A and B are shown apart, each in its own frame.
Chain A
Amino acid sequence: MQVAVKILRFDPEKDKKAHFDTYELEADPLDRVLDVMNSIKWYKDGTLTFRRSCAHGVCGSDAMRINGRNRLACKVLVQDVGKKIQLEPMLGFKIIKDLVVDMEPFFDKYKSIKPYLINYDEPPTGERPQSLEEHELFDETTKCILCGACSGSCPPYWSNSEFIGPAAIVNAHRFIFDSRDQGADERLSVLSEGEGVWRCRTVFNCTDACPRDIPVTKVIEQIKRVMLYNRK
């Protein structure tokens, strides 16, 4: 089928402003949007620039706005979006070039919640025990691939560059609810600060955007409850 792909372009060495370019080409309904982008880059316009790697939704490189929604370009099929496809970089991130955005502030916020196991006891010779129920508690939030789709879909994140954002909160949750971790207080104090979890307005865009089906809003809610009622 014929598709028309409208892409927001920006070359930092040439352009003063971002502008749209449109490409028309043949595509198979089962092609990924990423496959279409590659076709454009390889056979029509070599300057089209975007991040990509695994091409099957696990590395998180190709998060972008596809017909207005944050998605991974390698998980969306042409038949899901139809003949008119609009591609733009995620909002809330500074554009470097075309669909490539500056991920540094995003990763800085991730790092600020101490995203590593904190345990001050001497580990046993074997594994630390953990029950099936304990494992369940934080299993969902271990799925995060740091693609940025959630934070990039969040209106408070767009309007406030200091807001820590959904992804950082999800990754804090992963440790706070891990029975082997002892650093809950340290992380909760980061999250309870001015630009922490209380900037969330329960918009739900994050839950819609997450390619790993993490119930992000619910996770943020759980963190809020821990802070308010000291209960998990």
Chain B
Amino acid sequence: MYHKFDAIVIGAGGAGLSAAIKLVGKGNVAVISKLYPSRSHTGAAQGGICAALGNNEEDHWEWHMFDTVKGGDYLTDQDAAEVLAKEAIDAIYELEHMGLPFNRTPDGKIDQRRFGGHTRNYGEGPVRRSCYSADRTGHMILQTLYQQGIKNNVTFFNEFHLMDVLINNGRCVGVTAIDIKTGELHTFHSKATILATGGYGRCWKVTSNAHACTGDGMTSAYRAGIPLMDMEMYQFHPTGLYRIGILLSEAARGEGGILRNSEGERFCERYAPTLKDLAPRDMVSRFIIQEIREGRGAGPDKDYVYLHVDHLGKEVIDAKLPDITDFARTYLKVEPYTQGVPIQPTAHYAMGGVPTNVNGEVIVDEKGTVMPGLYAAGEVACVSVHGANRLGTNSLVDLVVFGRRAGMQAAEYIKTADFESLPDKHETGSKDLINWVNAGTGQSRTENAANIRKELQTEMQQNVQVVRDEKGMSHAMSKIAELKERYQKVKIQDVSSKFNTERLETLELGSLLELAEATTKGALERKESRGAHYREDMLNRDDVNFLAHTLAYRSDDGGVSRLAYKPVVITRFQPKERKY
């Protein structure tokens, strides 16, 4: 089936909906999502959305910008950080006007709380910058934006699985997608396409990410010839529920929660004397790994530490942290009122992704050359506003600020742009891929997809996680190559057309393999430690050679063909040593 729209948005999470809302009334718009919008992963975000409102104590956007730049270990593009910090303020008020039920101060203003890496006066101490709605801020943001979509009669194509991004004559002209309900392939022809498809946490064994987070949008852009930027910069959130990976928000520490090792020591104090448990996430994850390595991990396998909120008292826990308390009780049968909760670092957030400028326009090289008609926002994009490590509460605000910008930029574009024609045989690539998956019932197809995926996740967990080294990453590269070969023989049982989720999972596995490779390759070639990319064999940050973004280009047969480096935009803050 064929559809024509002035603009299409792929993904109905916070960024996609923010973009779509700005396109209302500006042309024919459609949102295409693999899930019902309210199921999007934005809804899992807990802790908060930050802006320098200064409702509880003095705050300034310049401080927020600095924290974002330093938090990103100076890989953050400072023009992007400035936009984020400045526009965050209006973004919060806009959300509140849309009805978002923020927690309030006693005098009726939006309440704000402390969060990791957010400081007053350029690092003096923690500052209350995170606006929140209990510990379900993401849920409220997703609901509120979806409600605005309903109010404005946005057209949704729900449960459509993205296949290919279509390029013709150097322009993006739309996408192909499978209607999951019928199995039919659809073509969406458009002037502007906005990717807002989220991250790819399912490359790792222990992750906070939903099953649906398989990086389909990133891979589609990559396969269409767009390079992926800073893929090695992947964040492991320090406090995931032990073994399961479910997120326990940083908000717990923002409210006063602390981490203790098997000896009961508040170990963060030793590593980060000023910010302690509220140091940035990449650092806290390393503190935890270090404690475990030095034998102070808890439990029978000595492989976790404890998050304590018991000293905060029942009232605070019930009012501010109800959801995460529920997770501890439900999944680990632990009572946070009185016990420490076992936690370990969990694969959480992709700082890297499809490169864009500050207007959400996708760029294709280190010079910033724009691909007309293609935009990206949210976790799928790399502006880069988070650099080498993202601060908590900066993602939710990124979704709104850059989602809006991409929408507004696309709205301008579609005013004057004409439709470019679709490339010849635009459905062939997608159909071939689908047919290849379906042929998985054949005799020569012997590999179980779940096994390949499990081995990938185990390998990435072992060798491309919080602490890395040359040997481990090289091993991962060979393992991924082996898994890609085995993937060529992946089998399938379900041959139906309608709602065939086995087919979708098989396609998603292809995406995970490619993104894992781009991530590992970027990591191997970055000969330094910076932010979330930490190598034991190269502990120092190298601002001479690596104060730059990695761009990974894909070869026709699916590997990384070459890497290029794009300079970081530096305006106000010269790179310094990163201490807290």
Contacts and interface: CB of A to CB of B under 8 A. Distances in A.
B437 to A, nearest CB: 12
A142 B140 contact: yes
Q: Specify which of B97, B98, B106 lies most central, judged by the most chain A CB atoms within 10 Å of its CB.
A: B97
Interface in A44-59: 45-47, 49-59
B552 interface: no
A135 interface: yes
B507 interface: no
B538 interface: no
Contacts of B501: 41, 49-50
Contacts of A43: 448, 450
A127 B96 contact: yes
Contacts of B448: 42-43
Interface in A1-57: 11-14, 30, 32, 41-43, 45-47, 49-57
A47 B99 CA distance: 42
Given A60-B38, A130-B104, A180-B99, A97 B331 contact: no
B300 to A, nearest CB: 14
B139 A145 contact: yes
Interface string B493-511: 1101111111000000000
A146 interface: yes
B243 to A, nearest CB: 9
A198 interface: no
A66 to B, nearest CB: 14
Contacts of B101: 135, 138-139, 142, 178
A141 to B, nearest CB: 10
Contact of A126 (B93, B139, B140, B499): B93
Which bracket fits the contact residues of B? 35 or more
B102 A11 contact: no
Nearest to B143: A142
B434 to A, nearest CB: 16
Interface in A91-130: 96-97, 100, 103, 107, 111, 114-117, 123, 125-130
A101 B41 CA distance: 21
B63 interface: no
A107 B36 contact: yes
Contact of B99 (A53, A116, A139): A116
Interface stretch (B146-154, B367-375, B460-468): B146-154
B108 A129 contact: yes
B103 A127 contact: no
Contact of B211 (A52, A58, A103, A132): A52
B133 interface: yes
Given A127-B102, A127-B109, A142-B133, A54 B43 contact: yes
Chain A contact residues: helix, strand, loop or mixed: loop
A131 interface: yes
Which bracket fits the contact residues of A? 35 or more
Nearest to B101: A142
Contact of B330 (A53, A77, A181): A77
A11 B38 contact: no
A181 B97 CA distance: 10
B39 interface: yes
B136 interface: yes
Contact of A58 (B96, B110, B139, B497): B139
A125 B499 CA distance: 47
B157 interface: no
Interface string B30-59: 000001101111011000000001000000
B29 to A, nearest CB: 18
A75 interface: yes
Contacts of A32: 331
A217 interface: no
Contacts of B456: none
Contact of B108 (A12, A131, A175): A131
B97 A128 contact: yes
A54 B202 CA distance: 11
Interface string A173-197: 0010010110000000000000000
A61 interface: yes
Given A46-B493, A115-B150, A135-B104, A59 B39 contact: yes
A175 B99 CA distance: 9
A56 B109 contact: no
A199 interface: no
A55 B240 CA distance: 14
B563 interface: no
A27 B99 CA distance: 44
Q: Considering the complex of A and B, which 4 residue pairs feature the smallest CB-CB distances, nearest first?
A: A117-B99, A42-B450, A46-B493, A129-B108
17 contacts: A14-B496, A41-B501, A49-B500, A55-B210, A57-B330, A59-B38, A59-B43, A111-B150, A117-B98, A125-B93, A127-B97, A127-B102, A127-B109, A130-B104, A135-B103, A143-B139, A145-B139
Interface of A: 11-14, 30, 32, 41-43, 45-47, 49-61, 75, 77, 96-97, 100, 103, 107, 111, 114-117, 123, 125-132, 135, 138-139, 142-143, 145-146, 175, 178, 180-181
Given A13-B498, A14-B496, 11 more contacts: A43-B448, A45-B493, A46-B502, A56-B331, A59-B35, A60-B39, A96-B181, A97-B496, A97-B499, A127-B92, A128-B97
